[in-house]
Amino acid sequence: METRMTDRSLLTLLLLLVGCSIGSCVYETNFKFCGSWRHGNKTLTLNYNLSPGCENITVSANDSSLSVVGQITSQCTESKSLKIDPVALSTKFCLHWEPLKDHLWLELAEQELHEQNVTLCEPSCMQTCSCTDLSPEGRNQPGGVYGIANGSVQGDSPVDKVLTAYVFLGEPLNCTGEELYDNAGQRCNQVNVTKGIEMGSHVVGNVALPKTKATVVEMKGNFQGFDFKAPAPDGADPDTLPSIHLPPSLKPASRKTAKLVCTFFRNKTLFQEPKRNVEILEDVVGITVENEVITNLSKPIRIGFHHHVLPKTHSRKCVSWDTKTDPQKVNWKEDGCVTVDMGANKTECHCNHLTYFTIMVRLERRAVPHLLALTVITSLGNAVSTISCVALIMFLCNKRRAKEQSSPVHLGLAGSLFLLNLLFFFTGTLANVGGEGLCRWVGAVLHYALLSSFTWMAIEVFYTFWRVYMVFSPSPRTCFWYLIGSALPALPVLILVAMRNIYGILEVVPSDDPSNPYLMCWMRTTPEALLAHYLTNVSMLVGLVSSGLLMLFLVYWKIRDRNEWRHRKVAFLSIWGLSCLFGTTWGLGFLDFGPLSTFVLFLSCVLNSFQGFFLMLRFYVLGWVKKREEGDSTLGSSSLTGSTRQQMLQVQEKQ
């Protein structure tokens, strides 16, 4: 009797152990560790080094880097270092581990534009040998404030202290039971995957696509998302193939099952646009859902492209093939895709629609050296010039100055420069806050302010010519000047606004960090916008600078023999002010080449951004000199009115 009881007890204990073992495999495989990474306010890096085995995994952090190192995978071997842009002094994160799929990924929770999920190990559908039951072994407390705060495992109560590292030990399991396969493969059973399907040649638009390999993913009713590699062409290295993540929202809710077809091409000549300023990289991935047009996904699809290291002077952007605008042309567009820099040789595209996707390298915009310094100088100059223009307007509106015939012309220029400097000062902020929609209108108004400033400078040239060489002829009325200076520049801007694809966000690429461009509201980089830029801005600037230099020479020729020219300070300020009034300082933009390119760039930036200040300084100094010398200065105003006109008559009488 005792023997039977003992055997029954052993059998019961054995069943309990087996049940616990199976339960552990089934229900305690997935692992989640969350915390808050406290770091400094500088460029951050994510480092990970993973290899097969089942020893431990260490998550550590300091002021500049977050590291995940260990041997817990079944087949995955990955070692990389990625840059992360900080959005605060603390970044929340969660490390997820699905051992039966050999899937490890890191979720960074505090990103502004997109949910940042970094895949450390690509998932596979099923692993028979796994490393699971991760448990903390030890923790190291730092001496400072940097590290991991509020660390918690599987949702447990967070640790109050800030620690430098968390070390987790794992247990190797070899689970082969059918129940375990059914449970662990639940997500895999949400899809049927058929690889290596031969796709025949077909035509899209005017592009004849050759035969290629395809992967068909049949999404079932319980579809919860899926990750896979692009179909491999013959001889391709699997590690260089794009990785693709399909979100749950991709499957149409109205259909029980839906087939997704993924094709892969490694031949950029088929898809290259007929332009010299851009080119696409080798890999092109096509994703379509049978009999469906997929747009505006709530969660984007993610495509990770591997590529060679690009030069710093080239910027990369995720683009999709637009076959609706003109099916007969290859048209790549950036709309609907967000570019995520995953390192020097990997870029991830987050897109909310389906079509063909690739990475486009921009060549048309030369990277700007010292962009940060130039931005600071420009912002400071715009702020000073804005205040100076207000002071100049008040100076020109006093009773004595308001009676002069040249005052309306000077007021028009001061007003247009005030609007130009004010908008340019805020254009970067408005581009980041308001986005593309607001920038369409801000860019149009900024373009109007620039054309209006050029027009008023041209009026200054014409007015000076009129007063110097047509002394006895009355000048046109004030209303005529305002009609030309204010209304005429509005005509081309209104026409360009009606075209709808001219104004928007412009990205200025810095040479030291092309992946982090400066955004501003201005004319876009489309071919239509580029043509409009040459027809309006460049052509008007060429005419303005040419006429300004000519008038500057003629004024100098008139006054070179006078006694006032010997007063060097007055002469210098007068000619300097005339050069600003006539727009000749803008001509430095045409000299931005060769070994003096950087010097000319900084000189042009200083002169043009501080232009309002220089004009105010000239008017105030010459007004003060005129009071002291009682009309001896023949350059008392830029239009050479008043005493200048009288002395011109005296010179002609002497001649």
459 and 382 inside one domain: yes
Q: What is the pLDDT of residues 125-157, one digit of tens each?
A: 555 566 766 776 655 556 568 888 888 888 787
Q: Return d(Cα 622, Cα 618) in angstroms, integer.
A: 6
- The confidence score (pLDDT) of residue 8 equals 41
Beginning with the edge strand found earlier in the chain, give each strand of the sheet holding 226-229 in spatial order: 226-229, 243-246, 301-306, 346-351, 337-341
Three-class DSSP labels, 24-82: HHHHCCCEEEEEEEECCCCCEEEEEEEEECCCEEEEEECCCEEEEEEEEECCCCEEEEE
What percentage of the chain has pLDDT greater than the value 70?
70
- What CATH number does residue 567 fall under? 1.20.1070.10
Q: Return d(Cα 412, Cα 350) in angstroms, integer.
A: 48
Question: Whole-prediction pTM value?
Answer: 0.48
Instruction: Assign residue 594 a region (left: φ > 0; alpha: ψ between -120 and 50; beta: otherwise).
Output: left
- The confidence score (pLDDT) of residue 141 equals 57
pLDDT band at 185 (very low <50, low <70, confident <90, very high): very low
Q: Residue 22 falls within a domain, yes or no?
A: no
- The confidence score (pLDDT) of residue 508 equals 84
CA 644, 648, 654 angle in degrees (round to 5)? Answer: 145
Domain end call among 180, 211, 228: 180
259 and 397 inside one domain: no
CB atoms within 10 A of CB 48: 22
Mean pLDDT of 421-447: 91
- The confidence score (pLDDT) of residue 526 equals 78
Q: Exposed, middle or buried, 228 (CB in 10 Å: 0-12/13-18/19+)?
A: buried
Look up the domain containing 86 and give its range: 27-180
634 and 503 inside one domain: yes
Q: Residue 20 falls within a domain, yes or no?
A: no
pLDDT band at 450 (very low <50, low <70, confident <90, very high): very high
Reported in sequence order, the residue ranges of 480-559 that DSSP labels E, i.e. its strands, are 503-508, 518-523
Q: Return d(Cα 490, Cα 183) in angstroms, integer.
A: 68
228 and 377 inside one domain: no
Q: How many helices (H) and strands (E) does the chain have?
A: 13, 28
435 and 497 inside one domain: yes
pLDDT band at 4 (very low <50, low <70, confident <90, very high): very low
Q: Residue 1 falls within a domain, yes or no?
A: no
- The confidence score (pLDDT) of residue 268 equals 66
Q: Residue 196 falls within a domain, yes or no?
A: yes
Residue 501 confidence (pLDDT) above 90: no
Hey, which of 6-10, 319-323, 530-534, 586-590 has the most confident mean pLDDT? 530-534
Domain end call among 180, 197, 212: 180
What percentage of the chain has pLDDT greater than the value 90?
12
541 and 400 inside one domain: yes
Residue 636 confidence (pLDDT) above 70: no
Residue 453 confidence (pLDDT) above 60: yes
Name which residue leads in pLDDT, 260 or 24: 260
- The confidence score (pLDDT) of residue 379 equals 93
pLDDT band at 237 (very low <50, low <70, confident <90, very high): confident
Q: What is the DSSP letter of 592?
A: -
The answer to whether the beta carbons of residues 368 and 509 sit under 8 Å apart is: yes
pLDDT band at 655 (very low <50, low <70, confident <90, very high): very low
Residue 2 confidence (pLDDT) above 50: no
Mean pLDDT of 604-619: 85
Residue 44 confidence (pLDDT) above 80: yes
Phi, psi of 171 (to 5 degrees): -115, 130
In sequence order, what DSSP letters do the residues of 484-499 get, joined into one string?
A: IIIITTHHHHHHHHHH
204 and 101 inside one domain: no
pLDDT band at 324 (very low <50, low <70, confident <90, very high): low
Q: What is the pLDDT of residues 269-314, one digit of tens each?
A: 767 765 555 677 778 888 888 888 888 888 889 998 888 777 665 6
423 and 559 inside one domain: yes
473 and 576 inside one domain: yes
Q: What is the pLDDT of residues 7-29, one digit of tens each?
A: 444 333 333 333 333 333 434 46
- The confidence score (pLDDT) of residue 441 equals 93
> For residue 45, which of 88, 94, 91, 83 has the smallest C-alpha distance?
83
34 and 174 inside one domain: yes
Residue 115 confidence (pLDDT) above 60: no
Structure tokens at 51: 């290899």
Give residues with Cβ within 8 angstroms of 245, minimum separation 6: 119, 225, 226, 227, 301, 302, 303
To the nearest whole number, what is the mean pLDDT of the chain? 75
376 and 355 inside one domain: no
Number of domains within the chain: 3
pLDDT band at 336 (very low <50, low <70, confident <90, very high): confident
pLDDT band at 492 (very low <50, low <70, confident <90, very high): very high
- Count the residues in the chain: 655
